Amino acid sequence: MLLHQRLYAWTQANPFKVDLAGALLAALFFAFPLLLSGPGTAVEFLLSAAICLPLAWRRTRPVPAAAVMAAACLIQLPLVPVTGLPADFFVLVMVHALAAYAPRWASLGGLALALVGGVLVIFQYLALPALQTYAQNPPTGMIGFWLIALVAVEAVVLVCWTFGDLARTRRLAMESLRDRARRLEVERQQERDLAAADERTHIAREMHDIVAHSLSVIITQADGARYASAQDPEIATATLGTIAETGRGSLREMRRLLGVLRGDDGASTRPLPSLADIGDLVEGVKRAGLDAQVLTTGTMRRALPAGAELTAYRVVQEALTNVLKHAGPQARATVDLNWTPGGLGITVTDDGRGAGADPRHDGGSPRDGAARTPGAGQGIIGMKERVALYDGTLEAAPALGGGFQVAAFIPYTEA
């Protein structure tokens, strides 16, 4: 940083120190010489110091500083009636400071007082001596000179006040811009936090859907194979094949998700599961031992967005996973995809044990007194969040006659 830039930055960061140095310099050149002139100049020295020193507070305390200076100037008129004081020049500096830094009432009041003071100065130091000399009958040309001097003094006061008011306007505009920049930065940070929270929620839903479904199938197959292999070892071989296939599929999905997080172009462009993959999903849970079928009714008016199809797939996946985990042995599930003029209705029903012993139900508790597992009900919450992103609805409750039912509706996105 260059020297003048460092100096400017320091002056902006330390305004009082700058003003104090200026006030001391003004007192040094306009007050102390009067003290050195002789013993009869003590009053002039004190009044000059009272005019110069308040300049140190002209930005931080403009109203009290202006009041002290105005009092000194008014006292000067009777105490220094002939010559005036050189320090009176700094009244213009204070007028500028009031216009720039003081409240509006103080700014206008200071301007009015300075204009009146200009009239008093012209009368005290120009008109009054001439009137005394010419016995109250001055020449006409002298009166014109007084008027020109008065206009000049008042014009200088108005110019100083105008420049101060312009500085005030610029200062307020800069403060407004800085405040706006701070608010924009806060809003950007809030948006980043919200985006990060939304992304964490999205990742959590994807991880839950991928891992929970695959592990449920693997656990179900492993438990079944453990008991059945004692009578028929070939069942263990087929079951291990299903476990391996399910694990590989889950691994592919995890790699795709991690590839998206890393920003890999190849991973992020791979197709996501859609409605066309629901048949394969049902076949997978069949191999896991669940009797499931898919029924499609109605006619699709137009295709759903890719994200909506992924949501429909995840709803079916989560519902079937819950059937595997909670419906009990020999349960049957039906996936009903119903196309209506308004959108796609998804109903997954099972004839298992239902919500009485099923922690799928958000408010339910296990009927058998078992402790509820940590995270129970999170799948239902995740499905509701997914469907709500596309203005859809989802309900999960015990079905009439036993079992459990998950019903979702995803409307068409109207352009």
Query: 356 in a domain, yes or no?
Result: yes
Count Cα neighbours of 2 within 13 Å in the Cβ-side half-sphere: 3
Would you say the C-alpha torsion 140, 146, 148, 154 has a positive or negative sign?
negative
Which tokens in the block code for residue 151?
């206009």
Which residues does 395 contact at the CB level (< 8 Å), separation at least 6?
406, 407, 408
pLDDT in tens, 94-141: 999 999 999 999 999 999 999 999 999 888 888 887 777 776 566 667
Strand order across the beta sheet in which 291-297 lies: 291-297, 332-340, 343-350, 404-411, 393-398
Contact 70, 33 (CB under 8 A): no
Q: Average pLDDT in the 266-283 region?
A: 74
- pLDDT at 322 (0 to 100): 86
- pLDDT at 2 (0 to 100): 77
Query: 340 in a domain, yes or no?
Result: yes
Q: Average pLDDT in the 73-85 region?
A: 86
Which tokens in the block code for residue 315?
């709803």
- pLDDT at 289 (0 to 100): 77
Q: How confident is the model at residue 402 (pLDDT cuts 50, 70, 90)?
A: confident
Tell me whether strands 393-398 and 404-411 are parallel, antiparallel or unpaired.
antiparallel
Tell me whether strands 332-340 and 291-297 are parallel, antiparallel or unpaired.
parallel
pLDDT in tens, 200-214: 776 666 666 666 667
Count how many domains the chain has. Answer: 2
- The 8-class DSSP code of residue 39 comes to G
- The 8-class DSSP code of residue 15 comes to H
Tell me: pLDDT of 170 over 90.
yes
Query: 244 in a domain, yes or no?
Result: no
Query: 25 in a domain, yes or no?
Result: yes
Q: How confident is the model at residue 224 (pLDDT cuts 50, 70, 90)?
A: low
Tell me: pLDDT of 415 over 50.
no
Which residues does 80 contact at the CB level (< 8 Å), separation at least 6?
43, 44, 47
Query: 158 in a domain, yes or no?
Result: no
Phi, psi of 340 (to 5 degrees): -120, 170
Q: Average pLDDT in the 234-243 region?
A: 71
DSSP string, 161-210: HHHHHHHHHHHHHHHHHHHHHHHHHHHHHHHHHHHHHHHHHHHHHHHIII
Q: List the beta bridge partners of residue 343.
A: 340, 411
Q: Which of 43-47, 59-63, 87-91, 140-144 has the lowest mean pLDDT?
A: 140-144
Q: Average pLDDT in the 149-156 region?
A: 93
Query: 199 in a domain, yes or no?
Result: no
More confident call, 230 vs 27: 27
Q: Which of 120, 138, 156 is the last residue of a domain?
A: 138
- pLDDT at 78 (0 to 100): 87
Q: Which of 138, 170, 205 is the last residue of a domain?
A: 138
Would you say the C-alpha torsion 56, 57, 60, 66 has a positive or negative sign?
negative
Contact 57, 19 (CB under 8 A): yes
Q: Which residue has the tokens 């996973």?
A: 321
Which tokens in the block code for residue 131?
């009137």
Helix (H, G, I), strand (E, B) or coil at 90: helix
Q: Which of 117, 138, 159 is the last residue of a domain?
A: 138
Which residues does 222 contact at the CB level (< 8 Å), separation at least 6?
239, 243
Query: 58 in a domain, yes or no?
Result: yes
Determine the Cα–Cα distance for residues 72 and 53; give it in Å rounded to an integer: 11
Q: Between the CA of residue 379 and those of 120, 253, 256, 315, 411, what are the distances in Å? A: 86, 18, 21, 9, 21
pTM as predicted: 0.52
Identity of the highest mean pLDDT range in 164-178, 215-229, 363-377: 164-178
Tell me: pLDDT of 253 over 80.
no
Return mean pLDDT, the chain.
81
Q: What is the CATH number of the domain that holds 374?
A: 3.30.565.10
DSSP string, 320-382: HHHHHHHS-TT-EEEEEEEEETTEEEEEEEE-SS-GGG-TTSTT---TT-PPPPTTTTHHHHH
Q: Average pLDDT in the 38-49 region?
A: 84
Nearest partner of 316 among 357, 273, 351, 365, judged by Cα = 273
Taking the CA atoms of the chain, what radius of gyration do you get in angstroms? 44
Query: 177 in a domain, yes or no?
Result: no
Domain assignment of residue 406, given as a range = 276-415
Tell me whether strands 332-340 and 343-350 are parallel, antiparallel or unpaired.
antiparallel
More confident call, 49 vs 254: 49
pLDDT in tens, 301-358: 888 888 888 889 889 988 988 888 888 778 889 999 999 988 999 999 998 765 444 5
Q: How confident is the model at residue 410 (pLDDT cuts 50, 70, 90)?
A: very high
Percent pLDDT > 90 in the chain is 32
pLDDT in tens, 5-33: 888 788 888 888 988 999 999 999 998 88
